[in-house]
Structure 1
Amino acid sequence: MKYNRVEELCSLHTNLSVADVQKISEIVVTLPLIADLNKANVFVDCPTKDGKHALVVAEAVPKTTKSVYKKTVVGKLVYEAFEPSVLFTLRTGKPMFLNRALTQEGKTVDQSVVPIIANDNRIIGTLIMEKDISEQVRYQQKMEALSEATKTLSGILIGMTENRPIIPEVIEESLFFIDQEGKILYSNPAASNLIQEIGKGDFTPGDLLIDYFPIIKGILNDSEELLVQEVNILNKVFQVKKITLGQHVKSNGIFVIFKNITELREKERELIVKSVAIREIHHRVKNNLQTVASLLRLQIRRGLPEESKVHFVESLNRISSIASVHEIILANSSVDDVDIYSLIEKIGNMLVVEAEHENQKVSISYSGPPHLLIKSNKAVSVALVINELIQNCVKHAFNSINEGKISVQFAQYGNEIHVQVIDNGKGYTPKSKNSLGLEIVGMIVKHDLSGDFSIGPAETGTIALVRFPIDREVVEE
């Protein structure tokens, strides 16, 4: 604390004597402790020479809480209009406690003021403590506004005239307003119609709501101010919402709103049934494809001409790739989306295992973002494309080497998916493009996926690239 600053301010702006300033300085020494102990900003104000205002000659900012002020106020004048308690204490010598004041930075504070008295009983200054209550004031104002709004709304409902109802009568929901005892004070036309619909006839204001709807007794008795539950009334589903209009601990009334959601729930049930049916279709298609695959395997085991065997194996792999799409769908929660990573991995592993049966040493790796989804109809086309490209690697790339490596990489770029199949085999030759597998790939990519397909030499081996949009565009002939 700069005590010479206290002496300087008092000398320039007050009529205090040297002894008075010495007493003020002794009090200033204790300000930091007082501020930390009370978690408040503490000040010493002294009267100006004209006696109309006060001057802040010292301050202490608490280390135990956030300061009320962003900037120092030492040397600032204190005006009676903003801090009347300070001037009142300077003039009368009477302390003031927890009075509301407005700081020079516009914050609302609780201000306590006690006089500083000289040895001859003259008032030479004030010791002030301020705590920020801006948030409390805002909360109090909100509560007062809410309370007033609640009171007004209750009055509107209770005191509305018969000829000019305030609440819109066109509201679709059935709305009741009841008192604390559950007596109906107001109902809109939809609510009156609901009572007639359940066969209770007309009702009289003042009747108990639970006499018409016993099923909501538990909702009304619940202590929650806002509660939403579904109930069944006459084979219909209603969402019942209870809103308690509270004013402090006393309730002004309760809104009870019935919303008919029968149609919504029926549509949800229809969607569930459709989802189950779709999953059943996927299950049957997968089983049928696996049956066909089993028949092909059986035929291969029973023996085939060597020139025919390769064609059976290729057909078997294509069928198994399509079956993989349906198998992945059944394993996931979605009935129409396929995770492309899982699909590529399943097909690739299947083909590598098949290669191992033919005494080929082939390893395969995958890279791409997880949970990249495509629609099931597009997934079938992607499965066939991936099958042909990996099968092409296994069949042609590694004839002259002992061990082969295949890398399948995919990524999303905007609305487009790129899939690369790279091998370290003997390399690409233009005549390879005439193979049936690559013709199938080109046709599927163009017509089913509306994409592009390219194949060419890599640094070592061959790289095939497929690009297609996520949102399918039909390619016309």
Structure 2
Amino acid sequence: MAFLRETLDRSSMSGADVDWVHRLVGDWQMLADLSFADLTLWLPVQQDDQGDPDASPWFLAAHARPSTGPNFYHDDVIGQAPSAERQSWLSQVLASGRSVTPEEVGYVREQYVPVVRAGRPIAVLVRHTDLQNMRQQGGLEVNYLQISQQLFSMIGEGAFPMDNVATGVGRGTPRVGDGVVRLTAEGVIDYASPNAVSALRRLGHTDHVSGADLSEIVTASLVPGTTVDETMPLVLTGRAPWGTEIEAGAINLTMRSVPLMRGGARVGALLLLRDVSEIRRRERELLSKEATIREIHHRVKNNLQTVAALLRLQSRRLDDPKAQEALAEAGRRLATVALVHETLSEGFSERVDFDDVAVRLLRATVEVASTQAVVTTAVEGSFGWLRPEDATHLAMILAELVHNAVEHGFEEGGPRDPDFSPEVLVGAHRDRQQGQDLLEVTVRDNGHGFAPAEPGVVRSGLGTQIVEALITDLRGEITWKTTEPHGTAVRFTVRLRGPSTG
């Protein structure tokens, strides 16, 4: 199925005309629902000297099906060329700028409407009605059809779609099936669909809806002291093509207004309204849960930092240097886990942007490592978004590897070279293989490196044992090697848990 932006490339329209067509198609589902009919949009083809002389000068650029009745076209028809008869009608309507309804053929009725912008027809909209399967007409059907004809007339006058439309009601924007109200030019309700009547009843209006003033109904339902959106009066009277939301006690209604124009004058308005009380309730629950989760992460971070501080205090009371070092190492590892929880407490996502964590982690780890050298750090590539449990494991692994690189790689300032500049580089590469997210990380330093004859020494410390245990838990692998002319490179690959998109 072709996208509208692709089919528009075949047209002869200007940029402003293309924008007009995009806006029309973005809003014409309302027209299809009100008219109980399929809508197709036909555009003239871009003519050039290289084109096929037998090709049709028209093509079908967009198609909408109604959600209120049977479909006319069941297959994808976008991109089709018109029949000779349809091409004749299309050319006639584009040239005259007037709507045409040819005689019915069998059980099919079609209406050709010029799409006008700035006083000039630029395309043709066709309404296709299946008379054999059409809904039995009652009060709702008659009023819907009347409103749709007003909108089709506005399209032919260049008054629809409208300029400066700013609905801004977010999730829960109303549709035709949610509730339809037609207002007079004075803001009095001329017609209300059953769903619209039910919505107004929930606002507390118990009298007749037809003939009532919509502004008075809504105003009477507002709780004293409620802050009213400045767009509300314009929407309730149908004076502007905007949207608003009304909150009256436990009821939330979204409303969208479409002024009905004739000859440049407003003759009434179409209002779509929807009861979004349940949607807003769920949104409030979600926000409450997110706030609770953030508070939990914040408290966990504070508790971990408190424990780390207590360990530092305790280490100062000990005379044994090894015991002091052990407590200091434990405190550093707790601070690393606290950094992940701090990141989680700052955002609404349930995942961690680990690129930010990695930069902060490197800076903190280098600062606390005991070395005489001033070490620079850098992160290359991207870790992406990670689940909290993966982020915690990865933060611990990185902290241990970077701390080991700084503390042991740059003892006594590092290699004796007048141009030597101590650095630790962390590289990350994400890949997806066989439905799994793979993360390859390299920690490289230009320090002393480990002795080739004793590679096992590098892996004998508690920190390295922690690293290997965490990598095993992530179903990964790790390797160490000495680099030339000096330094160490540690590379590990882990398999991340589940989706990790932010």
TM-score normalized by the length of structure 1: 0.60
**2:254 aligns to what SS in structure 1?**
strand
Answer whether contact 2:315 2:327 (CA < 8 A) is retained: yes
Change (3 A) 1:371 1:172: farther
One-letter amino acid of the counterpart of residue 179, structure 2? S
Is 1:434 matched with 2:460? yes
Q: Residue 438 of structure 2 corresponds to which residue in structure 1? A: 416
Matched-pair contact (CA < 8 Å) for 2:371–2:413: no
Q: Does 1:373 align with 2:406?
A: no
Identify the residue that residue 359 of structure 2 maps to in structure 1: 345
TM-aligned CA deviation for residue 416 of structure 1: 2.8
Residues 382 and 430 of structure 2 are in contact (CA less than 8 Å); yes or no, is this contact kept in structure 1?
no
Deviation per residue, 1:392-445 (Å, 9 max, x gap):
223433447646532222233344322211122333342122332222112111
Corresponding residue to 1:406 among 419, 424, 439: 424
Q: CA RMSD in A?
A: 4.1
AA aligned to 1:364 is T
What residue is the counterpart of 2:477 in the other structure? 452
Report sequence identity in percent. 25
| Shift, 1:292, TM fit | 1.0
Corresponding position: 1:364 with 2:376: yes
Question: For the Cα contact (< 8 Å) 1:285–1:323, is it kept in 2?
Answer: yes
Pick one of 283, 292, 295 that aligns with 2:298: 283
Note if 1:296 corresponds to 2:311.
yes
Aligned partners of 2:259, 2:116: CA distance in 1, in Å? 24
Residue of structure 1 equivalent to 2:153: none
CA distance in structure 1 between the partners assigned to 2:355 and 2:206 by the alignment: 63
Quick one: distance in 2 between partners of 1:371 and 1:220? 50
| Equivalent residues of 1:348, 1:364 under 8 A apart | no
- Indicate if the aligned counterparts of 2:362 and 2:399 stay in contact, CA closer than 8 A: yes
How do 1:247-286 and structure 2 match up within 5 A? 247-286=262-301
Which has the larger displacement, 405-414 or 394-403? 394-403
Show structure 1 runs of 4+ deviating over 6 A: 135-138, 143-146
Matched, 1:464 2:487: no
Tell me: CA distance 1:465–1:164, structure 2 relative to 1, closer, same or farther (3 Å): closer
Deviation at 1:384, TM superposition (A): 0.6
Q: In structure 2, do the counterparts of structure 1 residues 144 and 436 end up closer, same or farther at CA, with 3 Å as the change threshold? A: closer
Residue 326 of structure 1 aligns to a residue in which SS?
helix
- For residues 364-401 of structure 1, the C-alpha deviation after alignment (integer angstroms, 9 at most, x for no partner) is 31122468332322211111101111222234334476
Correspondences of 1:56-455 after superposition (within 5 Å)? 140-141=120-121, 161-162=138-139, 165=142, 167=144, 172-203=177-208, 205-214=210-219, 217-221=233-237, 223-224=239-240, 226-330=241-345, 332-355=346-369, 358-369=370-381, 372-399=384-411, 402=414, 404-414=422-432, 415-428=437-450, 429-431=454-456, 432-447=458-473, 449-455=474-480
Shift of 1:305: 1.1
Q: 1:324 and 1:345 mapped to 2: Cα distance? A: 11
CA contact (8 A) 2:441 2:491 kept: yes
The amino acid that maps onto 2:430 is: Q
- Superimposed CA distance per residue, residues 166-189 of structure 1 (whole angstroms, 9 cap, x where no aligned partner): 749x96523211222333332211
Q: Deviations over 1:190-220 (max 9, x none)?
A: 1222344444335264343334334764424
SS of 1:259's partner is strand
User: Following the alignment from structure 1 to structure 2, what is the Cα–Cα distance between the partners of residues 334 and 184?
Assistant: 43
Residues 84-110 of structure 1: CA deviation (Å, up to 9, x unaligned): xxxxxxxxxxxxxxxxxxxxxxxx99x
Which structure: larger Rg? 1
State the TM-score, normalized to the length of structure 2. 0.57
| CA distance 1:316–1:304, change in 2 (3 Å) | farther
CA distance in 2, matches of 1:305, 1:176: 82
8 Å contact kept, 1:422–1:463 = yes
Q: Quick one: structure 1 residues 438 and 282, their matched pair in 2 at CA, closer, same or farther if it must change by over 3 Å?
A: same
**Could you say if the C-alpha distance between residues 221 and 310 of structure 1 is closer, same or farther in structure 2, counting changes exceeding 3 Å?**
same
* Kept in 1: contact 2:372–2:412 (CA 8 A): no
- Kept in 2: contact 1:400–1:426 (CA 8 A): no
Q: Which moved more, 1:234-243 or 1:404-413?
A: 404-413
Q: 2 CA distance for matches of 1:417 and 1:471?
A: 11
Task: State the Cα deviation string for residues 6-63 of structure 1 (Å, max 9, x = none).
Answer: xxxxxxxxxxxxxxxxxxxxxxxxxxxxxxxxxxxxxxxxxxxxxxxxxxxxxxxxxx
Matches of 2:481 and 2:363, distance apart in 1: 24
Q: Name the aligned partner's letter for residue 344 of structure 2.
A: I
Deviations 1:115-151 (A, max 9, x none): xxxxxxxxxxxxxxxxxxxx989963369979x99xx
- Quote the offset at 1:227 in angstroms: 1.2
Matched residue SS, 1:244: strand
Give me the whole-angstrom Cα distance separating, in 2, the residues matched to 1:384 and 1:204: 65
Matching of residues 34-53 of structure 1 within 5 Å: none
Q: Which has the higher contact order (CA 8 A, sep 6+)?
A: 2
Q: Distance in 1 between matches of 2:410 and 2:475?
A: 31
Contact map agreement 2:315 2:323 (CA 8 A) in 1: no
Instruction: Give the direction of change, closer, same or farther, for the CA distance of 1:70–1:439 in structure 2 (3 Å limit).
Output: closer
For the residues of structure 1 that align with 2:425 and 2:383, how far apart are their CA atoms? Answer: 19
Change in CA separation of 1:198 and 1:388 when aligned onto 2, cut-off 3 Å: closer
CA spacing shift, 1:352–1:371, aligned 2, 3 Å: closer
What secondary structure is seen at the aligned counterpart in 1 of 2:319? coil
d(CA) in 2 for partners of 1:308, 1:364: 29
Letter of the structure 2 residue corresponding to residue 439 of structure 1: Q
Q: Deviations over 1:66-90 (max 9, x none)?
A: xxx988xxxxxxxxxxxxxxxxxxx
Instruction: Report the CA distance shift for 1:309/1:242 in structure 2 as closer, same or farther (over 3 A).
Output: same
